Structure 1
């Protein structure tokens, strides 16, 4: 990576420290230099700078920027000509304005999912980017690490290869336990329910993105119900949906962040069923492996003339928790003019993930046309 490309991280929360810094470290010399960090508070900015300097073994720690002083605020950071791109890891409701500010300053932008708090804001943001900044050669991508997770992408490849035949149905189950002591709940902005869905939006788009990568056709319709079962997780913490992809297939997504226990029932997280077999995908711990793996299990029908049908099982293990490194490398390659062919970070695709969650929150048993919602003909947010 050219030394002329410098980056800054905007936001000093948990994910910046625990995901982005390790991912940059894993990329080694192929990653550009982290030259600055920004947070609204000076303390959190200093903490991130110190962590970044240590994790990346920098000769000089990144410069510190924070609110309250014009010489060290976000505008001052964005005015630096040695910073080519920014990674935005800020609260959901704040990100759209910061994305536009960074683009206006001539910076390439990788912003954390979701693309926006709701479909309408996402539409406006994408429209502004396409009209004003994309023609200038600026790159804006959404950091959706499940979309980039190698195991999820491998499962999609297996399905598209025809290994299980034509997809006829799917099921995804997500069960999470969030208590008031969770580090994620203690993040101050997550305790203020000023955006739709709460954890269902923030975390739910991951699951929707994973299905988007694995399934061969886009959803067209959705119906479902949403509920709140733990008051401190308002406005909602649980959804059940049935989604349809035209005349191709349909399936179920059930998701909750209100599980009463940290232990989870034994169930496959993703199951895709086809005319010739099925595929399941789960994150598991494997003795001897350095970290969890995404385990893909494929059971397919083997037909041999003159013999009874048999079943064949294939198991594929792919190291997990690699998505952030993949999306960062792809973003940096794009800045350098290289196309890796992965198609990661498309804001319109990420908007489809938001539309799915928004429809699930609003449906209340009515069928929502997802195509019209994405076209802006049926926009509403709770």
Structure 2
């Protein structure tokens, strides 16, 4: 049986990623779209024959009206970071399954309170809350994870992700991103992808337990900070570095894991392994940004009456904890921070 779904939010990611992903899923049927403005809702729904809801569209078209519909069993919430928790609560309270965009919340305090409320007040087997993270569905990262696992004991790691977010770009010109009220600005919005990627590669056998970081604002238009450089230590004693900047003239990304049996690295969709002195490069085809399989797997789990373990809130909490600890350590001039929520 197909699951009736509504998309909540009419932003760039909903238009470019969520809408086509839902339309391509055999287990999901798009029933409605809600946005804060009629214009954005209509823009998102231009290529979809669905009902439009928004706050400025008159009686019977509010978010609460949408939640009353029995033919809508689930919602995908893609709203500005500070707004997400309120709509997650309202949807879950109405008995709707939720897939909410990352980060889980704008800070750990709110995220932990929301997670605690969900588990205490809801039967998670009947009403599921999932948090989206498309890096967990990139074929290149999944393949690299397999190679890391076979390479044995972890010796060290490094992550380097560099870019320049310029004024005029489609994401920068989004009002809530351009003038952030949430910690870290673009580092929070994009950075949880990269902490999720690191966690996926390291696996649960190499959880990060302590880190120290320095932060900086290189570009005036990217407040409050746009660069972080961190040193991390796992519970096994292995150490590594994590460098992320949205405001540098450095370019490119690299994820490298050194293990007793060899090394594994990712650059774009190329996975390079070095085992027994032999280097091998493999081009891995990712399915777009990872959102199509992310949404597809969510739909499959809902249809089967299960939850997707990759999408549980605790995974998103662990992603956020690493990023928030880096930001807080940076504010404290590199003070070491303990990581207690890693799984």
Give the secondary structure class of the aligned counterpart of 2:90.
helix
Task: Write out per-residue CA displacement over residues 214-242 of structure 1, whole angstroms, 9 at most, x where no aligned residue.
Answer: 10311100101111121221111100000
State the distance in 2 between where 1:322 and 1:175 align: 18
Compare CA radii of gyration and give the structure with the larger one. 1
State the distance in 1 between where 2:328 and 2:88 align: 27
Tell me which residue corresponds to 1:326.
293
Contact 2:27 2:300 in 1 (8 A): no
Unmatched 5+ stretches in structure 2: none
State the distance in 1 between where 2:260 and 2:186 align: 35
**Structure 1 residue 24: Cα displacement:** 2.7
Q: Superposition pairs for residues 310-325 of structure 1, below 5 Å?
A: 311-320=277-286, 321-325=288-292
Against the structure 1 CA distance between its residues 268 and 78, is the aligned structure 2 distance closer, same or farther, given a 3 Å change threshold? closer
Task: Write out per-residue CA displacement over residues 67-111 of structure 1, whole angstroms, 9 at most, x where no aligned residue.
Answer: 133410111111111000000010000001100000011100000
1:177 aligns with 2:164: yes
State the distance in 2 between where 1:197 and 1:117 align: 9
Contact 2:27 2:303 in 1 (8 A): no
Tell me which residue corresponds to 2:241.
252
**Structure 1 residue 151: Cα displacement:** 1.4
Q: TM-score under structure 1 normalisation? A: 0.84
State the distance in 1 between where 2:292 and 2:314 align: 22
Against the structure 1 CA distance between its residues 366 and 168, is the aligned structure 2 distance closer, same or farther, given a 3 Å change threshold? same
Structure 1 residue ranges, 4+ long, deviating more than 3 angstroms after superposition: none
Against the structure 1 CA distance between its residues 125 and 361, is the aligned structure 2 distance closer, same or farther, given a 3 Å change threshold? same
User: Quick one: which of 136, 139, 151 aligns to 2:128?
Assistant: 139
Tell me which residue corresponds to 1:67.
55
Structure 1, 80-89 or 63-72: larger mean CA deviation: 63-72
**Structure 1 residue 346: Cα displacement:** 1.6
1:214 aligns with 2:201: yes
State the distance in 1 between where 2:187 and 2:239 align: 21
**Structure 1 residue 204: Cα displacement:** 0.2
Q: TM-score under structure 2 normalisation? A: 0.93
Tell me which residue corresponds to 2:336.
367
**Structure 1 residue 313: Cα displacement:** 2.2
